[in-house]
Amino acid sequence: MIDRRSALALGLAVPGLAGLAACGPNASGGTGGGGGGGSADSGSLRLAWWGNPTRNENTENAVAAYKESAPDVTISLEPGEWSGYWDKLATQTAGGDFPDVVQMDEKYLAEYGERGALLDLAGAGLDTSEFVEGSVEVGELADVGLAAINAGLNAFAFAINPVVFEQAGVEIPDDTTWTWDDVIDTAVAISEATPDGTWGMTQMGSVQGLFQVWVRQAGQDQYKDGAAGFDAPTATAWFEWAKRIQDSGAGPDASTSVEDAAASMDQSLFNTGRIGMTVLWSNQVVAHDALAEKGILVLRPPSVAGSAAEAQLWYKASMYWAVSAKSANPEAAVAFVDFLVNSPEAGKVLSVERGVPGNLAVRESIVGDLDESSKKAVDFLNAIESELGAPPEITPQGGGEFEAILTRACDDMLFGTITAEEAAQRLLDELSAALS
Amino acid sequence: MSAVGELAQIVSRRDKRGPREKHPDNKVGLAFMTPWLLGLLGITILPMIASLVLSFTDYSMLAAPEWVGLENFQRMLGDTRLHNSLIVTFVYVIVGVPLQLAAALLLAVVLNHGMRGLSFYRSVFYLPSLLGGSVAISILWRQMFGASGLVNQLLGALGFENLPGWVSTPDTALWTIILLHVWTFGSPMIIFLAGLRQIPQMYYEAASVDGASKVAQFFRITIPLLTPIIFFNLVLQVINAFQTFTQAFVVSGGTGGPSDSTMFYTLYLYLKGFGQFDMGYASAMAWLLLVIVAIFTAINFFVSKFWVHYDD
């Protein structure tokens, strides 16, 4: 007899159990991936990357273009921002939910690669024969093979907002001869000639790329044989330079800088016309150019000697594509990565926003059609080609922490909690602890 | 009789019954509870056991866990960032919870006088505590207290100059999060309101006949009779406050704030586990948090003997 009590019990128990069943974290994801089998032309893939509006659009278009040549492969997109990307990836790793194809950075290549999370692309048959000399090796790890393929080359650069310079009436400096002191002097001139709330430069003390330029110009490098490659006096001098930015008024005060560092690209002080000079990787030129009012100019970083030939710049793989070692669909994933880095079609869509393509054939096919912003990035890379220093070591395992360590030490110093020497010593100590 | 008092009575009464008294309704009751029991087992108890085991291992999530015994706990002794995060969390709990409860009590007393639109005000004051733990509110908070945010614009209009960015200055960042916690006073307020309603009117009438002022009535009648509710709220809010994560994560942008000033214990745990691939250490930290919260709760219960009046 179905009386009220048993009807109520049924009504509660059934949805409750159904809800529990759906509660499993990978209930839908796992079966979707597993159903793909082993074919390169069918199945479903998940693609994760960090980016900005320009890159997100390019990537979507590239995926749409791939759909035309491989209609049976469904690719679900997981874009994100740099600041949350690594947390998300680590969380996904913990949940066994690593996306099939991920955009990878040099900082974390060893972290993921040496722990067996990435597939050996060369072993899986990825064709890298057309890549320019040196651009494939930067993705290789000793025990893994080719853990990730170079998605584009870039180099470290200064960006100028010409509108701010005009507003201040300051001339744009000659980037082949300027020194670190010249940078501060120019910035001070801008800060003084513009209203409150506009400064000459951003606080660059916590920027890892510029720090690397600094230590390379001191004859050292960020890493050497898997340990820290720089010494305390060099780091102290760096922090003192950073302190001067704040003290001289060249850049904003500490708390404004902290906020700016966390702001999104379109909300940053530089792109809203309140900073004259900032630093970036050359591939970010494209996105900044679109956001800043009248575009940007790309300059070399300064040198200690006042000569561009001694700036010790280097070509970096701006980012990589990697495939999960536990992907349910490795062949489809590798085929897709092959499309991304080796096909002129993808090269045209993705352009140089992620960096200049390593595949020379692709690079040649797109160079003619580049728009203004992309040309700026490519021209910069070509301009510094003859001035490069030795290529740096890949970040060893544990080195992914460096950016956070540098930021903390710099912030503490800028807020006056510690001195530049103490900051430098802490930088070295914490980096060594992280690497061990 | 107060709710806590009643519960205590029921528990003591049950112990005096015979040990094998059968309750015919038990089977139906257990059947109702099955979904919840399965959830408790699968989502709470088994993961807790897994976490306990992991706390004695070195687990990077990408490789199998390796047993290391007490090494994680030994490392915690020397980890200055951990000690700092404990200090940050303690400041948050010890300052934030009393402030929040004081605000809740104040507003409950005001609302208890009854007024037109009481239910409207009650809902409006309750709303922040519903949303307060959300990501959206935390993002809003970060924006509001930024260097050029709403708060500074308001203060600037009032004539203040040289205002710092509240969330990006180490000295003030934690206070914005404490303020956010105090802002979510709604749920303890509702509980206080219920408690205030339970106080018989005749005490107040007798007191006014005897010539006691409103203030004296508040401190001599209201507060003592409310102590069980205050105690309840205190225990609950302390336990919750120790587990704060979302607000800290979002307001500091995931970094623990300028110079670790908003590095809450749970945030540091998260960064260790998911940022540095040190899940074994993070699990050890989680169990340490459990012990700390248990100690605080035990202290609360012990001290309650001296200030909580149960009217039975």
A262 touches chain B (CB under 8 A): yes
**Chain B residue closest to A90 (CA)?**
B274
Beta carbons of A149 and A125 less than 8 angstroms apart: no
pTM summary value: 0.82
Closest Cβ opposite residue A255 in set B36, B164, B255: B164
Does pLDDT of B90 surpass 90?
yes
The DSSP output letter for A280 is: E
Residues, chain B, total?
312
Which pLDDT value is given to residue A29?
A: 37
* A94: confidence class by pLDDT, cuts 50, 70, 90: confident
CA distance A186 to chain B (A): 25
Does pLDDT of A65 surpass 60?
yes
Beta carbons of A384 and A92 less than 8 angstroms apart: no
- The C-alpha atoms of residue A331 and residue A121 are separated, in whole angstroms, by 10
Residues 6+ apart with CB under 8 A from B121: B111, B115
B258 touches chain A (CB under 8 A): yes
CA distance A60 to chain B (A): 27
Does pLDDT of B19 surpass 90?
no
Q: Residue B65: left (phi > 0), alpha (psi -120 to 50), or beta?
A: beta
- The C-alpha atoms of residue B184 and residue A189 are separated, in whole angstroms, by 47
A195 touches chain B (CB under 8 A): no
- In terms of domains, do B158 and B107 share one? yes
Host H or E run for residue A61: helix A53-69
- Across the interface, do B259 and A87 touch by the CB < 8 Å criterion? no
* B101: confidence class by pLDDT, cuts 50, 70, 90: very high
- Sort out which chain A residues have CB atoms less than 8 A from B276's CB and list them: 401, 434
* B290: confidence class by pLDDT, cuts 50, 70, 90: very high
- The C-alpha atoms of residue A270 and residue A297 are separated, in whole angstroms, by 12
- Sort out which chain B residues have CB atoms less than 8 A from A256's CB and list them: 147, 165, 168
The boundaries of the domain holding residue B37 are 19-54
- The C-alpha atoms of residue A75 and residue A59 are separated, in whole angstroms, by 11
**Chain A residue closest to B63 (CA)?**
A115
- In terms of domains, do B42 and B75 share one? no
Which pLDDT value is given to residue B133?
A: 84
- Across the interface, do B258 and A415 touch by the CB < 8 Å criterion? yes
Q: State percent of chain A over pLDDT 90.
A: 43
Which pLDDT value is given to residue A351?
A: 85
- Mean per-residue pLDDT for A412-432? 93
- Mean per-residue pLDDT for A212-235? 91
Which pLDDT value is given to residue B24?
A: 65
- Mean per-residue pLDDT for A111-130? 89
Beta carbons of B229 and B195 less than 8 angstroms apart: yes
Does pLDDT of A30 surpass 70?
no
- Sort out which chain B residues have CB atoms less than 8 A from A251's CB and list them: none
Which pLDDT value is given to residue B255?
A: 84
CA distance A92 to chain B (A): 9
Closest Cβ opposite residue A401 in set B38, B43, B276: B276
What is the DSSP code string of chain B? --HHHHHHHHHHHHHTS-TT---TTHHHHHHHHHHHHHHIIIIIIHHHHHHHHHTTEE--SSS--EE-TTHHHHHHHH-HHHHHHHHHHHHHHHHHHHHHHHHHHHHHHHHHT--TTHHHHHHHHHHHHHHTTSHHHHHHHHHHTSTTSHHHHHHHHTT--S---GGGSHHHHHHHHHHHHHHT-HHHHHHHHHHHHHS-HHHHHHHHHTT--HHHHIIIIIHHHHHHHHHHHHHHHHHHHHT--HHHHHHTTTS-SGGGTT--HHHHHHIIIIISS-HHHHHHHHHHHHHHHHHHHHHHHHHHHHH-----
- Across the interface, do B43 and A411 touch by the CB < 8 Å criterion? no
- In terms of domains, do B41 and B127 share one? no
What is the average pLDDT value for chain B, to the nearest integer? 89
Residues 6+ apart with CB under 8 A from B53: B65
Does pLDDT of A14 surpass 80?
no
- In terms of domains, do B268 and B220 share one? yes
Domains detected in chain A = 41-151+317-379 (3.40.190.10), 156-313+398-435 (3.40.190.10)
- Mean per-residue pLDDT for B216-232? 91
Which pLDDT value is given to residue A36?
A: 39
Q: Are strands B66-67 and B57-58 parallel, antiparallel or unpaired?
A: antiparallel
CA distance B147 to chain A (A): 6
Specify burial of residue A47 (Cβ count, 10 A radius: 0-12, 13-18, 19+): buried
Q: Are strands A227-228 and A145-146 parallel, antiparallel or unpaired?
A: unpaired
- In terms of domains, do B227 and B83 share one? yes
Amino acid found at B72: N
Which pLDDT value is given to residue A22?
A: 46
- Mean per-residue pLDDT for B173-201? 93
What is the average pLDDT value for chain A, to the nearest integer? 86
CA distance A159 to chain B (A): 24
- In terms of domains, do B181 and B83 share one? yes
Whether residue B6 is contained in a domain is answered as no
- In terms of domains, do B32 and B81 share one? no
CA distance B240 to chain A (A): 23
Find residues 58-87 of chain B whose CB sits inside 8 Å of chain A. 60-63
Q: Are strands A156-160 and A43-50 parallel, antiparallel or unpaired?
A: unpaired
- Mean per-residue pLDDT for A82-93? 85
A105 touches chain B (CB under 8 A): no
* B14: confidence class by pLDDT, cuts 50, 70, 90: low
Residues 6+ apart with CB under 8 A from A8: none
Which pLDDT value is given to residue A6?
A: 64
Quick: pLDDT tens for A268-283: 899 999 999 999 998 8
- Sort out which chain B residues have CB atoms less than 8 A from A12's CB and list them: 32, 35
B246 touches chain A (CB under 8 A): no
Whether residue B33 is contained in a domain is answered as yes
Angstrom CA distances, B77 to B272, B290, B293, stand at: 15, 17, 18
CA distance B67 to chain A (A): 17
- Across the interface, do B170 and A411 touch by the CB < 8 Å criterion? yes
- In terms of domains, do B199 and B283 share one? yes
Which pLDDT value is given to residue B47?
A: 94
- Across the interface, do A20 and B38 touch by the CB < 8 Å criterion? yes
Host H or E run for residue A78: strand A73-80
Does pLDDT of A2 surpass 60?
no
- Mean per-residue pLDDT for B183-212? 91
Query: How many cross-chain Cβ pairs, A to B, lie less than 8 Å apart?
Result: 92
- In terms of domains, do B201 and B90 share one? yes
Quick: pLDDT tens for B121-150: 889 999 998 888 899 999 999 999 988 889
Whether residue B233 is contained in a domain is answered as yes
Quick: pLDDT tens for A295-343: 899 999 999 888 888 888 888 888 999 999 989 989 999 999 999 999 9
Which pLDDT value is given to residue A34?
A: 38
- The C-alpha atoms of residue A81 and residue A265 are separated, in whole angstroms, by 10
- In terms of domains, do B124 and B271 share one? yes
Q: CA triplet A9, A10, A16: central angle to 5 degrees?
A: 95
**Chain B residue closest to A14 (CA)?**
B35
Beta carbons of A229 and A393 less than 8 angstroms apart: yes
Which pLDDT value is given to residue B88?
A: 96
The DSSP output letter for A251 is: S
Which residue pairs, CB below 8 angstroms and at least 24 apart, start in A245-250?
A245/A184, A245/A187, A245/A201, A245/A203, A245/A204, A245/A205, A246/A203, A246/A414, A248/A184, A248/A187, A248/A188, A249/A188, A249/A191, A249/A192, A249/A199, A250/A183, A250/A184, A250/A187, A250/A188, A250/A191, A250/A199, A250/A200, A250/A201
Closest Cβ opposite residue A116 in set B63, B273, B277: B63
- The C-alpha atoms of residue B94 and residue B181 are separated, in whole angstroms, by 12
- Sort out which chain B residues have CB atoms less than 8 A from A434's CB and list them: 276
- How many separate domains does chain B show? 2
A378 touches chain B (CB under 8 A): no
Query: CB count, 10 Å around CB of A350?
Result: 23
- Across the interface, do A9 and B32 touch by the CB < 8 Å criterion? yes
Phi, psi of A292 (to 5 degrees): -75, 150
- Lowest-pLDDT range, A14-28, A164-178, A214-228, B251-265? A14-28
Reported ipTM: the value is: 0.77
For A204-215, give one letter per residue: b (16+ CB within 10 A) or e.
bbbbbbbbbbbb
- Across the interface, do B62 and A117 touch by the CB < 8 Å criterion? yes
Which pLDDT value is given to residue B18?
A: 52
Quick: pLDDT tens for A336-348: 999 999 999 999 8
- Mean per-residue pLDDT for B13-36? 74
Which pLDDT value is given to residue B22?
A: 62
- The C-alpha atoms of residue A301 and residue A216 are separated, in whole angstroms, by 12
- The C-alpha atoms of residue B283 and residue A414 are separated, in whole angstroms, by 34
End-to-end CA gap in chain A: 70
Residues 6+ apart with CB under 8 A from A49: A55, A59, A78, A79, A80, A102, A103
Mutual angle of helices A53-69 and A330-342, in 10-degree steps: 110
Q: Enumerate the β-bridge partners of residue A146.
A: A140
Query: CB count, 10 Å around CB of A408?
Result: 22
- In terms of domains, do B128 and B74 share one? yes
Host H or E run for residue A276: strand A275-281
- Across the interface, do B258 and A411 touch by the CB < 8 Å criterion? yes
For A136-150, give one letter per residue: b (16+ CB within 10 A) or e.
bebbbbeebbbbbbb
- In terms of domains, do B159 and B47 share one? no
- Mean per-residue pLDDT for B191-217? 90
A256 touches chain B (CB under 8 A): yes
- Sort out which chain B residues have CB atoms less than 8 A from A404's CB and list them: 255, 275
Whether residue B64 is contained in a domain is answered as no
Query: What is the CATH number for B258?
Result: 1.10.3720.10
- The C-alpha atoms of residue B167 and residue B244 are separated, in whole angstroms, by 17
Which pLDDT value is given to residue A32?
A: 37
Whether residue B169 is contained in a domain is answered as yes
CA distance B28 to chain A (A): 9
Coil vs helix vs strand at A159: strand
- How many Å separate Cα A233 from the centre of its chain? 28
* B1: confidence class by pLDDT, cuts 50, 70, 90: low
A407 touches chain B (CB under 8 A): yes
Closest Cβ opposite residue B274 in set A94, A255, A415: A94
- Sort out which chain A residues have CB atoms less than 8 A from B167's CB and list them: 259
* A28: confidence class by pLDDT, cuts 50, 70, 90: very low
Closest Cβ opposite residue B147 in set A19, A256, A408: A256
CA distance B156 to chain A (A): 14
- Mean per-residue pLDDT for A207-223? 92
Whether residue B223 is contained in a domain is answered as yes
Does pLDDT of A171 surpass 80?
yes
- Across the interface, do B164 and A258 touch by the CB < 8 Å criterion? no
Does pLDDT of A25 surpass 80?
no
- Mean per-residue pLDDT for B174-188? 94
- Sort out which chain A residues have CB atoms less than 8 A from B169's CB and list them: 254-255, 258, 415
Does pLDDT of B152 surpass 60?
yes
Whether residue B166 is contained in a domain is answered as yes
Does pLDDT of A367 surpass 80?
yes
- Mean per-residue pLDDT for B77-93? 95
Whether residue B278 is contained in a domain is answered as yes
